[in-house]
Amino acid sequence: MFAENKKKFKHAIVIGNSKMVSELATTLSTINEYVTLIDNDKDYLKSLPSSYLGNTLVGDPLEYTVLDSADAKRADIIFVLSSDDAKNIFIAHMAKTYFNIERVVIHLEDDNLAHTLENTGIDYVSPTGIEKQSFMQFVESEGEDDENTH
Amino acid sequence: MKILISGGHTRLDYLVDELRSFKHELIVVNSDLQACRTLRKNHRDVTIIHGTPLDLTVLNDAKLRDIDLSIALLNSDKDNFALSMLLKRYFEIPYLMSSVNNPENIAMFEENGVRRILDVPKLLASNIVNAINFKDASIVSPLPKRDITMMEVPVNSDSSFIGSPAKDLKMPEESIITCIVKPDESIIFDMETRLEVEDRLIIVAKPKMKSKIMKSVQGHEIT
């Protein structure tokens, strides 16, 4: 479903080391011309599913030369999804400052750190925020149910 | 000036001493409990918050709204950068300084509004190189460009002008004495000040002049 409806990017870069990241990269690789997944764990990159059609690059994405090797200047979107918020913030700014990547999306565990991204054009996804919102919706709907009952 | 210092385990006590000697008001946020305890024992007049600086709830506890300057001394460049961006954009702190471990990251800090960079490896390397090159002299402060330096040269008993006014000391070209540090006071350079053993001269010069300066002040060239 994702593949059918979503916009195609010429060159997507994905950074991170988790099951969710490898699944995202795999999906992106089926709909985009060029996808590069970067991580400094060689074994993780080797363990990607066979359905992953993109490239891999072993290296520390905190380093300019690694992003440059991934051809970041040609990238039109980058997903920075490590579990380290400060690392994601740093790489995102590097992507904007040096490589002028149009869409930069990062993972933030602590959504309070979203203030670091104000007026930068960097987007973020916060599982904490999403979970909090979901639970609050649950609480609110419970409240509505109670009102309906009474 | 009201200054926030974040992190800085090994350098913290010294830095706080220095800044308090200039009467700055200090807030320290540090995740190292022992460092906080030591600091609290030595500096009753400093606000010390124990906690992770990259945690907004900790920073809110520190009441940072009217801070003039932030000095970020966390262990990694990424942490210092993220903290600086938080302090700039959320707390609107106007002046940001940060230590940077990787010189390749300096430009990114600067381009994102961190106005003064403490390039730790560069300072260390510069001090070591200067210690090797200058021997008896020491570098007081690295200046903005490598082509000029400020050095401190002691007047020793071999100097030929002991007891004479400073105007008798013939300095080489491309060097100038700015200050004479005496045991009990520092004097802005004055031609009539008499030079004595134990005085130290603060000299601004081109680095290439160091041998000639040493010869003029101490009577021998450095090798």
A6-62 pLDDT, tens digit each: 667 889 999 999 999 999 999 999 988 899 999 999 999 999 999 999 999 999 999
d(CA A36, CA A16): 11
Calculate how close chain B gets to A149, using CA atoms only, in Å. Answer: 39
Nearest of A85, A105, A109 to residue A95 by alpha carbon? A105
Whether B192 and chain A come into contact, CB under 8 Å, resolves to no
* Residues B134-188: tens digit of each pLDDT: 556 666 665 666 678 888 888 888 777 888 888 888 899 999 999 999 988 889 9
Domain of A36, in residue numbers: 2-149
Instruction: Please list the helix, strand and coil fractions of chain A in percent, rounded to the nearest 5, in that order.
Output: 50, 20, 30
Q: Do A86 and B57 touch (CB under 8 A)?
A: no
| Domain count across chain A | 1
**Which domains does chain B show, CATH number per domain?**
2-123 (3.40.50.720), 135-218 (3.30.70.1450)
B82 vs A94, A98, A116: nearest CB: A116
Number of inter-chain CB pairs under 8 A, A vs B: 55
What is the value of pTM for the model shown?
A: 0.74
Instruction: Name the least confident of A74-78, B84-88, B202-206.
Output: B202-206
> How confident is the prediction for chain A on average, in pLDDT?
89
Q: How confident is the model over A95-100, as a mean pLDDT? A: 95
Whether B85 and chain A come into contact, CB under 8 Å, resolves to yes
Q: How confident is the model over B119-127, as a mean pLDDT? A: 67
Instruction: Name the least confident of A51-60, B69-78, B213-222.
Output: B213-222
Q: Is the ipTM of this complex over 0.90?
A: no
Residue A47, C-beta contacts closer than 8 angstroms, at least 6 positions apart: A22
Neighbour count for residue A145 (Cβ, 10 Å): 10
CATH number of the domain within which A93 lies: 3.40.50.720
d(CA B127, CA B136): 13
Calculate how close chain B gets to A42, using CA atoms only, in Å. Answer: 22
Whether B82 and chain A come into contact, CB under 8 Å, resolves to yes
Calculate how close chain B gets to A87, using CA atoms only, in Å. Answer: 6
Calculate how close chain A gets to B53, using CA atoms only, in Å. Answer: 12
Higher pLDDT, A109 or A1: A109
Task: Note the pLDDT of residue B104.
Answer: 85
Going by pLDDT thresholds of 50, 70 and 90, the confidence category of residue A145 is: low
Q: Do B104 and A110 touch (CB under 8 A)?
A: no
